[in-house]
Structure 1
Amino acid sequence: MKRAGILNRHLAGALAELGHGDGVLVCDAGMPIPDGPRVVDLAFRAGVPSFAEVLDGLLAELVVEGATAAKEVRDANPAAAALLEGEFPELELVPHERLKELSAGARLIVRTGEARPYANVLLRCGVFF
């Protein structure tokens, strides 16, 4: 058994398969899930687990070279905007409809139980060297 880090076997396995340039969408419970990408659904109840908790766990395990979120997050969910802008100083902001289009090209989607709007981010994997 793993001692620390992500214990969910489905998520840990999916992360191990990622490579440079792959996209990982971390999303709230309301984000439409497109056909195609692998999905690990962690949602349990409204708000559980939170977007912030899941993002924190993923960032501890992934090398991320870029991130994209919906520009609507700034007005609709200032807490999520502050979190994202704090983690990603060069956060790319696009219209929400564009983020939904981009999510279809993700390799992995991790759905949280987050119940606040626009708590979504598309991560682009980097390399550790």
Structure 2
Amino acid sequence: MSDEEKIKRLQEELRLARQEVLHLSRLAELGKLVAVVAHEASQPLMGIKAFAQILRRRHDDDEFIGPKVRLIEQQARNMESILNNLKQFARRESGREQACQPGPVLQAVRQLLGEYARKKEATLIVEADNDLPAVPLS
């Protein structure tokens, strides 16, 4: 494989990695939005449940109102379950956290792109110690 082919392959890999990072960022934002929506929807739902319980206590024996109040309570419980699942989803972590040493990665990039930079009469400088602290990835 020629240097240009390697560079094109690496550029494509970089493009795909950037797309994946963007996608993961959007998913993280979606998780935050889900948590906010679930929390905000929980507040009025608690009010609906409380009023339905009051109505049931007062009108449970009423042939017309009783069944409708029980249906409201059942649907409120279903909605509460859905909101709890959304909250749990928003809190869920996407796997075990790993760490990456940036120094060796940067040096590998320098080696891979060094020849290409020389051909283009560019200078590629990477100043990174191999003992930099690990960067957490998840």
TM range (shorter): under 0.3
Q: Structure 2 length as normaliser, TM-score?
A: 0.20
Structure having greater relative contact order (Cα 8 Å, sep ≥ 6)? 1
Question: Which has the higher Rg, Structure 1 or Structure 2?
Answer: 2
Higher strand content, 1 or 2: 1
